[in-house]
Structure 1
């Protein structure tokens, strides 16, 4: 009888320690997180920018509207204006005003490193209207043009981005006021903004 009582008492004391032995043990496990996916905007966009053209030593103000196909490729129509004014001199007594309005259709490929930062490059073809006024004489001519561009882009939000880059612009021969101006080309650096819809 005493033996059974001792056994019962030992069993009562053993139950709490037995429960502790069966409690769950927490371990430190690391969860896997998938890498960030790149933004795949698809749809229309509208943008504007300004480039400083080194040969002309003038700004090129530009705007564009385009469509992003969602795989990094997009097409956009761009136009802008470069204005240059030459003061009268001893050899040329009239001031000259030169206005260039390029219109191009462009292909751009954009590659994103993450949801915010990426790079872009592209090519464009079109025509440029070159208008020259010197004293009482004036004239304008359309000429074939091409351009290449590349730069970096930063998506501030999915609908708003800023970009900065370089461009090379080439305009074929222009015939004005009885003279021919050989290939016009220039390099510029600039920046702009873009709104995605």
Structure 2
């Protein structure tokens, strides 16, 4: 899990450096409300169009999290998504963004008598309030709805969750 997270961060930073202007990177940490566990994410985004105070962007995002089910059972999740984001500049330093994403999650379940790994279709919706400290650097507070589909080892959906997150974003 740690290796996947480090690899995702390295890929995101490399892609951002390669594309230059209109490109940004971001990272965040949050808390899944239902499962009561931490989640971490990293992303690289590309501004594709700007109309007045509206900016349209496409992002590549990776996330990882762990859910301790108790009784020695752990569910580890790592996913990759492609997101669309619409950012609205409110006043000089403030902005809001709304987005949605599609992707896949790799789920690993480990317990005393069982271990399994499978992939699941994943989708999400994101809302963010951001504050630009400089023209390039921002801090953000986000709310995210994440839905992870069915996996073979459980014969049912892993489920959905909502997270509250804090993060940073750097525009090149």
TM interval, shorter chain, is 0.7 to 0.9
1:129-161 C-alpha deviation (Å, 9 max, x unpaired)? 110011243111101010001121111111101
Q: Judge conservation of contact 1:171–1:184 (CA < 8 Å) in 2.
A: yes
**Bigger strand fraction:** 2
Tell me which of 70, 83, 106 is aligned to 1:87. Answer: 70
**Alignment gaps of 5+ in structure 1:** 1-41, 89-94
1:23-42 C-alpha deviation (Å, 9 max, x unpaired)? xxxxxxxxxxxxxxxxxxx5
Tell me which of 156, 169, 180 is aligned to 2:155. Answer: 180
Is 1:194 the counterpart of 2:169 in the alignment?
yes
Measured in 1, the distance between the counterparts of 2:84 and 2:69 equals 34
Q: Judge conservation of contact 1:43–1:70 (CA < 8 Å) in 2.
A: no
Q: Specify the SS of the correspondent of 2:91.
A: coil
Is 1:96 the counterpart of 2:73 in the alignment?
yes
Hey, what does 1:120 align to over in structure 2? 97
Q: 1:125-144, aligned counterparts within 5 Å? A: 125-144=102-121
* Number of residue-to-residue matches in the alignment: 148
Q: Specify the SS of the correspondent of 1:55.
A: coil
How high is the TM-score relative to the length of structure 1? Answer: 0.71
Hey, what does 2:136 align to over in structure 1? 159
Q: Judge conservation of contact 1:152–1:165 (CA < 8 Å) in 2.
A: yes
Hey, what does 1:47 align to over in structure 2? 26
Measured in 2, the distance between the counterparts of 1:80 and 1:183 equals 16
Hey, what does 1:76 align to over in structure 2? 59
Query: Superposition RMSD on alpha carbons, in Å?
Result: 1.4
Q: Specify the SS of the correspondent of 1:135.
A: coil
For the pair shown, the structure with the greater C-alpha radius of gyration is 1
Measured in 1, the distance between the counterparts of 2:122 and 2:128 equals 21
**Alignment gaps of 5+ in structure 2:** 1-20
Measured in 1, the distance between the counterparts of 2:63 and 2:45 equals 15
Q: Which runs of 4+ in 1 moved over 3 A?
A: none
Measured in 1, the distance between the counterparts of 2:159 and 2:70 equals 20
Deviation at 1:70, TM superposition (A): 5.0
Is 1:59 the counterpart of 2:38 in the alignment?
yes
1:20-78 C-alpha deviation (Å, 9 max, x unpaired)? xxxxxxxxxxxxxxxxxxxxxx5111110012111110011111111123510111111
Measured in 2, the distance between the counterparts of 1:111 and 1:190 equals 19
